[in-house]
Amino acid sequence: MTDSTKREVSAASVRTLELVVAALILVFGAAVMFDSWRLGASWAEDGPQAGYFPFYIGLLVVIASVTVFVRALRNSQLAARSFVGRDQLRMILMLLVPSIVYVALIQMIGIYVASILFIAFFMLWLGKYSIVRAAAVSVGVMVAFFLVFEIWFKVPLPKGPIEAALGLN
Amino acid sequence: MEEISALMQGFGVALTLKNLGFMFVGVTLGVIIGVLPGLGGANGVAILLPLTFTLAQQPGGTTTAIILLSCIYWGALFGGAITSILFNIPGEPWSVATTFDGYPMAQKGEAGKALTAAFTSSFIGAFIAVVVITFLSPIIAKFALKFGPPEYFSVYLLTFCAFIGMAKGQAMKTIAAMMIGFALAAVGMDTVTGQLRLTYGFTELLQGFDFLIAVIGLFGIGEILLTLEEGLAFKGANAKIDMAVVKETWRELPRYWVTSIRSAAVGCFMGIVPGGATPASFMSYGLAKRMSREGDQLGTGKVEGVVAPETAAHAAGTSALLPMITLGVPGSPTAAVLLGGLLIWGLQPGPMLFIEQKDFVWGLIASMYLGNIAGLIVVLTCVPLFAAILRIPFAIIAPVILVVCAIGAYTVHNSMFDVWLMLFFGVVGYVFKKLDYPLAPLVLALVLGDRAEAAFRQAILGSQGDLSVFFSNWLVGTITALALLLLVWPLLGGALARSKASS
């Protein structure tokens, strides 16, 4: 890991990420405290109010994130360390972006067809397989999942118009 | 010898053809999950948990369901050793120490020997831990029957303080991760007052965050993203185990009986303490290095260097189930997922299980013996098959794992929102892992949040808001004091080290 980060161009330093993440956690903690306060974070006649416990949880989140933030701000060494290299980031986005498209596709055309497209896309794009092999593997995998989930364990998965046309619903 | 007869009854429950079948299916699935990147014990069990929903509704089905899930866990524990030794990739954090001697052995062409040693010591470690569970859990359960809300809250406090006290990195990051878990657990309808908390008007959040989704995202998707960084190709040694190698290794293993017993003891003890499996494996490796006659040669590919961490890790991984079934407090993320399963099937984990669900508890304990035997058989005979799985090109395995995670996330509540949430948790898991925010306390807090809060509310309701209720008798006082001691332990340790250095 350390060797590769030296050679690679860094996309972001550890310090930047530490600061951003600590700030986001701070916002999260503040939101928790705010809503708990709205609900009432003190003692009612019949016991602690709904916001009592979460309020202090939120307070601890805020304290912890501020501490991490200040520490990262003071630690200048962190700025020199790479959080992620450009090439690494590209690899990650190469998986993440198609995954987002994939989840959107599940919503539209059901999980089976979306998964077949997703697996085949990766095999063609990253693996440089032939269309025949990509189709065989992706369809085979999803037929196996269909048998396990729908037939054996009777767990229905989201389906779309194509399954409906095949009468598999 | 009440336990023996209860255990025998448990074997009667577990030893049906159906349960044995599920045992082998579970172990095999578990090993596959253990060797695949991005799938591990916790999220593997989480993904397969929805499959047991219908299974658990049949009479006696909960026992079959827990056998299936716990065997997946045993399998995943075994599988971690395969990737550590053959590919130098620890499948689980507690297999890291196995790579120290396991991978050098594989490079020397002794992969079969290393694997046999690892599997056998895993089995021995797990076996000793199950014996401990058999005899210790009824005692703890009986003891815990006396617990009221203050005692329960103090046990939860102990669990979480142990995480903070034993954290390797910044304690503040552990606290942040843990409190995020608690906050996420509070989202949704408050069961006591019926008020909506932290939903900010989003109807999707009414149900709150399910920890299964968090587990699948944080550990599954997060792990794949991390694997991607390291590059796509796995370079592994060839593995073949034939009976001759197994026999030869088994003849050699009794020589390390001291190491085995020491490692098992460390593992059992550390496993009961939350988050203990990983430190247990390192500790036991360290002890072997210091105390064994050939200790200075460890790290160059010695059998003993595989025996020590594997025995401890398996003993710890197994005994992590002890607090889960007796107190309802899981010691590891995987134990937490199993606990979640119990809750979904309508069982209340905790001491009452030993009274109301005798068949279930003893069936589970008996299945631990049988499941580990099944595991040993499966891994010894099928290693080449499992190693072949790791050679499937990344362009195929990565999308398939993602599909599996998406299916797992969807089936928990049949909700698409959960699948989006899983992707989000995946990115969070990746960033947190790289910045050393620990994920295990987050998941545990998410699982235990509601129960911890309920115990806290009931306790201070009884005392009219007076926090001294957590010191009101010797029992709760001792547990709370122990928790606070663990919490400040790193500060104490630091102060001690400083005073030593100055003198």
Distance of CA B311 to the CA centre of its chain: 15
Q: Which residues of B touch A125 (CB under 8 A)?
A: 395
Q: Hey, is A12 helix, strand or coil?
A: strand
Closest CA to B283 of B263, B260, B302, B253: B263
**B289-316 pLDDT per residue, tens:** 888 777 778 888 888 889 999 999 889 8
- Do the Cβ atoms of B183 and A32 come within 8 Å? yes
**Average pLDDT score over residue span B19-48:** 86
Does residue B421 carry a pLDDT above 90? Answer: yes
Closest CA to B313 of B272, B336, B279, B273: B279
Does residue B121 carry a pLDDT above 80? Answer: yes
Minimum mean pLDDT range among A2-6, A162-166, B202-206, B439-443: A2-6
Does residue B5 carry a pLDDT above 80? Answer: yes
Predicted confidence band of residue A3 (pLDDT cuts 50, 70, 90)? very low
Does residue A6 carry a pLDDT above 60? Answer: no
- Do the Cβ atoms of B200 and A35 come within 8 Å? yes
**Average pLDDT score over residue span B484-503:** 75
Q: Which residues of A touch B64 (CB under 8 A)?
A: none
- Do the Cβ atoms of A88 and B180 come within 8 Å? no
| CB contact set of B150 (below 8 Å; sequence gap of 6+) | B455, B459, B462, B463, B469, B470, B472, B476
Does residue B222 carry a pLDDT above 60? Answer: yes
Q: Which two tokens stand for residue A119?
A: 């697996």
Interface of B with A in 306-365 (CB under 8 A): none
d(CA A55, CA A33): 5
Distance of CA A112 to the CA centre of its chain: 21
ipTM, interface predicted TM-score of the complex: 0.91
Residue A120's closest chain B neighbor by CA?
B396
Q: Out of B172, B192, B410, name the one closest to residue A157 (CB).
A: B410
d(CA B489, CA A141): 51
Give the residue carrying structure tokens 């090109």: B393
**B305-359 pLDDT per residue, tens:** 899 999 998 898 888 889 888 988 887 788 889 998 888 888 888 888 888 888 8
Give the residue carrying structure tokens 């399963």: B341
Residue A98's closest chain B neighbor by CA?
B399
In Å, how far is B209's CA from the nearest CA of chain A? 14
Minimum mean pLDDT range among B69-78, B89-98, B418-427: B89-98
Distances in whole angstroms, Cα of residue B445 to Cα of each of B333, B388, B423: 10, 37, 20
Helix (H) or strand (E) holding B503: none
